[in-house]
Amino acid sequence: MLVERPKAVMMLGGVVHVVLDGVLNVRILRVNCLRMFHLVLRGKRRGGEGDREDHRQKHGGGKLLHGPNVARSPAGGQVPKVLAPREERGGACSASAPRRAYTGNTMTTPDASPQPSQKRYFFEKFGITERLLERCLGEALSAGGDYADLYFESVTATSLGVDEQIVKSASQGTSAGCGIRVLSGERTGYAFTDNLSPERLLHAARTAALIASGPAKQPVQGFLETSGADLYPVPLGGFDLDLAARLELILRADRAARAFDPRIVQVRAGYSEELRRILIAASDGAFASDTQPLCRLNVFVIAKEDALSTKGSAGGGGRAGLEQFRGSKSPENLAREAARGAILQLGAVPAPAGEMQVVLGPGWPGILLHEAVGHGLEADFNRKKTSAFAGLIGQPVASSKVTVVDNGTMAGRRGSLNVDDEGTATQETVLIEGGVLKGYLSDKLSARLMGMSNTGSGRRESYQSIPMPRMTNTYMLAGDDEPEDILRSVKRGLYAVNFGGGQVDITNGKFVFSASEAYLIEDGKITAPVRDATLIGNGPEALKYVSMVGHDLKLDEGIGTCGKDGQSVPVGVGMPTIKLDKMTVGGTGR
Ligand SMILES: [Zn+2]
């Protein structure tokens, strides 16, 4: 039985371009991510045992649809079970999208039994033993695979949504499962199960093993636990699931947004959180576990004046508990920020069009790096030579003022991880240093096939998904310039401080962003706000025009979700104020 995939619904324009070439393989050419409102999960999602296979695998029986997001279940698959809503599955939005309701009609109640210790969670809760892990890995390699890993995941998720002062959605649930992967050369066999009994795990292992054909050749090595960092607090006993406290956060946001201005006519606010526990064991001896909290609060408003209506949004979050929603991330502050943006747009003039100097404000505009550079530097795209950055290591791809890193080791940040989803400790990876391309983001597969180091960038959306090289927190390091001097140096240009989202075609590096808050710069001064401005450019070229870099590096508020190949993962971005001497602005004004 096929696993239903969430339907991608773009709420603010843009499309997901997945190119299926049918014969050779399935690959995503346009990575569409960091959007304002993107994936909305509709209907229930069914789990069950299934497998994913490389198209080259010979397979018998059962209908196999190719593609990284397509699964089939073996005959006699178990009864479908509704998975719990996951923060990333449903909301998958970047800037402050009120997470839309998970409309699954079955809810499971989180288990209220005492929580086992973090490290031994799966051992104590599901009866997993080291011996069973070794047996599963042995089965997975029984047909001659080069490498196998087991990824156990248990997620407790909660989400709440208020629309027009009415609670429109509330859900809590848990899900657990295991994904088993076997690598054989460049091929990947994948099977997963939401039943963690030894029989089912061994069956899934044998299914994934089919990717290879031959006698077993790799032994399972003794496990050596990864010593990952401790980047986020783990609430004792898991999230306490005090729904009233969470509901109060979004009701406070709702009230503050309405009180901001009578022209605010509609308010939606949403809260989502999850606690994800993982255990990874691999045939190369990798053994790691982690417990990852994640929360987000979003506010979305519509303002109206005469016939004109505008939108505004804001949000914040990270890998921490409710205490983070204070100060700049208080519901009132986020609501006022959303309302301010919408009201500002009411008085905006049409954006100018053409090539001009562009100043990007600090923080969230770092999505430019994520789109223009980050995806193009994911090792899988370079291994397959589909990236515009393929073969450019050691070459200048930006001005000498530009240094870009991807850093998964920042405490409490939304994109941070103690270990990646292959059990490798995360790290800070320099992507561009002084304008020169330094490296790619890699997982185990690409590292092995490309003969490069593994940067701990193997991430996946869930146990149903194969890991891929992904970003964590991607940002540009601060420079020396005063932000005021940067603005003063522009005779006529655009100052963009907030973006709705962007997308990139990684084959040619072309990207486009829509600015949700931007202003004209005239004679070195910020003047009228503009609406509907888009920034258009080419990844390996755009950053060559960076002529000034501020000292005001800022990271985003913890709202980003990146989509790639149908998998959503939380990420962070950041940037100081920068000036680009030349960039194409799309707009309707003059
Ligand atoms: Zn992305």
Hey, what are 18's tokens? 């997945």
CA of 192 to the centre of ligand 1 (A): 25
Alpha-carbon distance of 272 to 158, in angstroms, equals 6
CA 62 – ligand 1 centroid, Å = 34
For residue 249, the surrounding DSSP H or E stretch is: helix 243-260
* 3-class SS shares of the chain: helix, strand, coil, % to 5: 20, 35, 45
564 Cα–ligand 1 center, Å: 6
Give the per-residue pLDDT at 437.
96
Domain count, the chain: 1
Q: Give residue 566 CA to ligand 1 midpoint distance, Å.
A: 11
Q: What is the CA radius of gyration of the chain?
A: 24
Question: Does residue 53 lie within any of the structural domains?
Answer: no
**Ligand 1 center to 76 CA (angstroms):** 37
Q: What is the per-residue burial (b if ≥16 Cβ within 10 Å, else e) of 158-168?
A: bbbbbbeeeee
Task: State the distance from the centre of ligand 1 to the C-alpha of 371, rounded, in angstroms.
Answer: 6
CA of 375 to the centre of ligand 1 (A): 6
418 lies in some domain: yes
Rounded Cα–Cα distance for residues 369 and 320 (Å): 25
Tokens of 496: 């963009």
**How far does the centroid of ligand 1 lie from the alpha carbon of residue 32, in Å?**
6
pLDDT tens per residue, range 483-511:
999 999 999 999 999 998 778 888 888 99
Mean pLDDT over the full length of the chain: 80
| DSSP states of 485-535 | HHHHT-SEEEEEEEEEEEEEETTTTEEEEEEEEEEEEETTEEEEEEESEEE
* CA–CA dist 307, 518 (Å, integer): 22
CA of 563 to the centre of ligand 1 (A): 5
Distance 499 CA to ligand 1 centre (A): 14
CA 80–ligand 1 middle distance (angstroms) = 31
CA of 125 to the centre of ligand 1 (A): 34
CA of 470 to the centre of ligand 1 (A): 8
User: Ligand 1 mean position to 290 CA, how many Å?
Assistant: 23
Amino acid at 301: V
Distance 384 CA to ligand 1 centre (A): 18
Q: 557 C-alpha to center of ligand 1: Å?
A: 16
**Tens-digit pLDDT string for the chain (590 aa):** 222 222 222 222 222 222 221 111 222 223 334 432 222 222 223 333 333 333 322 222 222 222 222 232 332 233 222 223 333 332 222 332 222 222 222 223 334 344 455 668 999 999 999 999 999 999 999 999 999 999 999 999 999 999 988 898 998 889 999 999 999 998 999 999 999 999 999 999 999 999 988 888 888 888 999 887 889 987 644 455 678 889 999 999 999 999 999 999 999 999 999 999 999 999 999 999 999 999 999 999 999 999 999 999 999 999 998 889 999 899 999 999 999 999 999 999 999 999 999 999 999 999 999 988 999 999 999 888 889 899 999 999 999 999 999 999 999 999 999 999 999 999 999 999 999 999 999 999 999 999 999 999 999 999 999 999 999 999 999 999 999 999 999 999 999 999 987 788 888 889 998 999 999 999 999 999 999 899 999 988 899 999 999 999 999 999 999 999 999 999 999 999 999 999 999 987 66
Residues in the chain, total: 590
Q: Is 13 inside any structural domain?
A: no
CA 468 to ligand 1 centroid distance, Å = 12
Report the candidate in 111, 91, 110 with the shortest Cα–Cα distance to residue 101: 91
- Return the residue matching tokens 């292959």: 422
Question: How many whole angstroms from 19 Cα to the centroid of ligand 1?
Answer: 17
pLDDT given for residue 335 in this prediction: 98
Tell me, in angstroms, the distance from the centre of ligand 1 to residue 426's CA. 18
CA–centroid distance, residue 438 to ligand 1 (Å): 20
User: How far, in Å, is the centroid of ligand 1 from the Cα of 370?
Assistant: 6
Q: Cα of 562 to ligand 1 centre, how many Å?
A: 4
179 belongs to a structural domain: no
**CA 472 to ligand 1 center in whole angstroms:** 10
Question: What's residue 218's pLDDT?
Answer: 86
Ligand 1 mean position, distance from CA 561 (Å): 7
Contacts of 101 (CB under 8 A, 6+ apart): 90, 159, 161, 168, 169, 171
CA of 153 to the centre of ligand 1 (A): 23
pLDDT of residue 118: 65
For residue 451, is it within any domain?
yes
Q: How far is the CA of 66 from the centre of ligand 1 (A)?
A: 23
What is the residue range of 553's domain? Answer: 350-586
Helix (H), strand (E) at residue 292: strand 286-305
CA of 184 to the centre of ligand 1 (A): 28
Q: Where are the alpha helices (DSSP H) in 299-439?
A: 331-346, 367-369, 379-383
The answer to whether residue 34 sits within a structural domain is: no
Predicted local distance difference test score (pLDDT) of residue 372: 87
**Do the Cβ atoms of 7 and 40 come closer than 8 Å?**
yes
Q: Is residue 421 part of a domain?
A: yes
Asked whether residue 459 is assigned to any structural domain, the reply reads: yes
Encode pLDDT of 115-167 as tens digits: 455 668 999 999 999 999 999 999 999 999 999 999 999 999 999 999 988 89
